[in-house]
Amino acid sequence: MEKIKVGIIGATGYAGEELVRLLYQHPQAQLVSLASHSYAGQPYSGIYPNYREIQDVLCDPEDIEPLAEKADVIFLALPHGLASSKVTAQILEQCKVIDLGADFRLQDVSVYEKWYKVPHEGKEILPQAVYGLCEWNRDAIRKTSLVANPGCYTTCSILTLSPLVAEGAIQLDSIIIDAKSGVSGAGRSVKLDNHFAEVNESIKAYGVGTHRHTPEIEEQLSYRAGVPVYLTFTPHLVPMQRGILAVCYATLTEKYSWEDLHTIYEEYYGKERFIRLLPQNTYPETRWVKGSNYCDIGWKIDERTNRVIAIGAIDNLVKGAAGQAIQNMNLMFDLPEDMGIGQVPMFP
């Protein structure tokens, strides 16, 4: 079988580097271009010395048009606002595109422009985009040429809550998501708030009431519910490199036991390769999914308040970014869904 020719635009960010690491080990992928705005012309192994004598190629400029002529699929790992100006109908006729940014995740342009504060340049192709949450949109992903890879917070939150929402087990106006992220989620660019001395020995909430992943979570849960969903989402920065932990609270619609909710989760996720449903009184920890494409989910019923506390954990750079993007690629090219991303979580 001929290998898939892969290009990565934004290859020198954290998500881009994780794509390179995983795709290098993918048996059906051939990296044909690593493109970077800041490091064009420089050897990739000079930017990330862990690739010395492994990936010494020079970084290409971020020019999508010539890349589309030689690649079967292009991964875009760019800040928001850039992908929608680069991807065109002509590009999609030449190759498939998987966007790890936010530009094609929201189908309502007005919502995107309100939350991201930039104009959307790809309105004409937006209807083609499929939200790349593999466990829920598998069939549509197989048929599209444009995948919007979900965000890290959103992947963890949506996977954790979707079965309960779809089955009407929770009151939709009661959902609160309290999420924590490692600092790699903020990207590699230099920012004062991410310096070691600013982050170490501290935890803080940010984007309180304004975080851009909020409408993404709401839109996807609304599809499950069949009615609009509005919720409270508060992210926190914690002093670790990788990981997302989403603690989700909601009021149950009736009296459920732990076993009742297990039946619901098992119905949706029992056969899913990358979702692990934890035993009763066992809860997800980021250390047990680090470096992997797994999402661990556990839950507890607070009988006193009739609320459920559902908890999910992922690696933000793998299941929350590069790993899920490759999972999407596998679906788009009719490959085994876990090809190249079945690594055991790293510990310690």
Rounded to the nearest angstrom, the gap between the alpha carbon of residue 287 and the centroid of all alpha carbons in its chain is 18
Computed on alpha carbons and rounded to an integer, the radius of gyration of the chain in Å comes to 20
* Separation of alpha carbons 8 and 35, rounded Å: 6
Judging by beta carbons within 10 Å of its beta carbon (0-12, 13-18, 19+), is residue 90 exposed, middle or buried? exposed
3-state secondary structure 330-343: HHHCCCCCCCCCCC
The answer on 70 and 181 residing in a single domain is no
**Number of structural domains found in the chain:** 2
Domain holding 25, by residue range, is 4-128
3-state secondary structure 24-83: HCCCCEEEEEEECCCCCCCEHHHHCHHHCCCCCCECECCCHHHHHHHCCEEEECCCCCCH
Catalytic annotation present for 59: no
Q: Among 230, 218, 249, 226, which Cα is nearest to 312's? A: 249
Largest alpha-carbon pair distance within the chain?
A: 62
Q: Which of 59, 95, 134, 152 is catalytic?
A: 152
The answer on 202 and 109 residing in a single domain is no
The answer on 113 and 222 residing in a single domain is no
Rounded to the nearest angstrom, the gap between the alpha carbon of residue 52 and the centroid of all alpha carbons in its chain is 28
pLDDT per position in the chain (348 positions), as tens? Answer: 799 999 999 999 999 999 999 999 999 999 999 999 999 999 999 999 999 999 999 999 999 999 999 999 999 999 999 999 999 999 999 999 999 999 999 999 999 999 999 999 999 999 999 999 999 999 999 999 999 999 999 999 999 999 999 999 999 999 999 999 999 887 777 677 778 888 899 999 999 999 999 999 999 999 999 999 999 999 999 999 999 999 999 999 999 999 999 999 999 999 999 999 999 999 999 999 999 999 999 999 999 999 999 999 999 999 999 999 999 999 999 999 999 999 999 999
The answer on 206 and 92 residing in a single domain is no
Q: pTM of the predicted model, to two decimals? A: 0.96
